[in-house]
Amino acid sequence: MDIECTQANLAKALHLVSRMVGTRGTLPVLGNILLSSDKGRLKLAATDLEIGIQTWIGGKVTQEGAITVPARLLVDFVTTNSDQKIRLEVKDTTLSLTSDRFSANINGIPAGEFPGIPEIKQENPLVFEAKALREAIQQTVFATAIDETRPVLTGVLLKMEETSAKFAATDSYRLAEKTLPLREKSAPLSVIIPSRTLQELNRMLGDSADSVEVYVADNQILFVFNDTVFISRLIDGVFPDYMQIIPSKEKQTTKVDLQKDEFSQVMKMASFFARESANNVRMKVTPEFVEVAAISPQLGDTLSKLSGTITGDPVEIAFNAKFILDGLAVFPGETIEIDLAGKHQPGILRPTGKGDYFYLIMPLRIDG
């Protein structure tokens, strides 16, 4: 292989694929990045056997070929190199890199030992606007479970309906759901995407992609954007039927509209005193104001009052402060709505006027 490309393009591509390099695998080649010529371009690929990525950059191909080399060393050399162009030559199992002022030889492993990245037939794609998809990821993935006791809760449900796509995540204590409209009608589909896959996709999309094509087949999901394909295994299992825990409109007896930043500040203040009590923060809703309190037997207590638009019955309820702050961090807009159905029922938070998103939190026990 003999290819010349710009340092900027090579560094950008390496940054993209290097995050998928396997770091704990028993196969040494999983710690490498695959470099190969492909139809007049340079292809870079990496995988940890759960997730795989391939991206292409332009270059002047003088000779075809392929090799895998240690990811960290390659990334460090290329990103530190400030010359405009870099030439990559392969001789046996050595990659030679040369530029105006720098040169290096990196020992590699033959490309034939690199695990094959699964391929999915790219037909009938689901197409999302990249910005909308990133928002859906950000507004749901934080609610997935960290504990892998129930694997289905460590992923995000993608449920395709005829004209919309629902993204939902829950750790059984909270639930976030975002609905995106579809450009074209879709066949019914329900899959669970690992949270890490979506977190990496969110980072990769950045602000550079306009749209993302999504393909599903054989327990794999494929995302295609710009000159990159990103594939991941799906999570086997059945996602919980979460609709049954959502209080109906008829049961919602209290509604509160608050300034988001003010509520976030008050909740953060209360969380300082709630650390020793499982982040338990008490909200008391009266016709005139919302009172937020937290007590620490060792440290003391705090009490804050919020003004807002309040309708319905007075109620006192407790929530995990961290859960509320997690949701507020991804809410757009300046105001939020809180719907309550009594102290023993979940609370529903949403950005004001946003019918396509809600965040549900289970209440904590109130003593006394």
Position 76 pLDDT exceeds 60: yes
- How far is residue 69 from each of residues 18, 50, 56, 172, 257, measured CA to CA in Å? 11, 20, 17, 43, 56
pLDDT at residue 256, as a whole number = 97
pLDDT classification of 299: cutoffs 50, 70, 90: confident
Transcribe 145-198 into DSSP letters. -S-TTSGGGGEEEEEE-SSEEEEEEE-SSEEEEEEEE-SS----EEEEEEHHHH
Residue where a domain stops, chosen among 242, 265, 288 = 242
Is the same domain home to 50 and 81? yes
Q: Is residue 119 part of a domain?
A: no
- The three-state secondary structure class of 221 is strand
15's enclosing H/E stretch is helix 7-18
- Judged against a pLDDT cut of 80, whether residue 136 lies above it is answered with yes
| Pair 141, 97 in one domain | no
My answer on whether 296 and 310 are in the same domain is yes
Q: What is the pLDDT of residues 253-290, one digit of tens each?
A: 999 999 999 999 999 999 999 998 889 999 999 999 99
The reply to whether 118 falls in a domain is no
The reply to whether 136 and 102 lie within a common domain is no
Please indicate, yes or no, if residue 368 is contained in any of the structural domains: no
pLDDT of residue 365: 86
Does the residue 366 lie in any domain? no
Residue carrying the six token digits 């395709």 = 160
Quote the pLDDT of residue 23.
73
CB 31 within 8 A of CB 75: no
Contact 209/131 with Cβ under 8 angstroms?
Answer: no
Place of tokens 């196969």: 27
Picking from 62, 84, 113, the residue at the C-terminal end of a domain is 113
Residue 300 belongs to a domain with what CATH number? Answer: 3.10.150.10
Residue 108 falls inside a structural domain: yes
| Span 114-140, average pLDDT | 93
In terms of Cβ atoms closer than 10 Å to its own Cβ (0-12, 13-18, 19+), residue 324 is: buried
Whether residue 308 is contained in a domain is answered as yes
Q: DSSP character for 21?
A: S
pTM over 0.75: yes
Determine the pLDDT at residue 248: 87
Query: How many whole angstroms from its chain centre is CA 259?
Result: 26
259 and 237 both lie in a single domain: no
Number of compact structural domains in the chain: 3
**Do 226 and 134 belong together in one domain?**
yes
Domain that holds residue 340: 246-361
Per the domain annotation, does 122 fall within a domain?
Answer: no
Domain shared by 273 and 186, yes or no: no
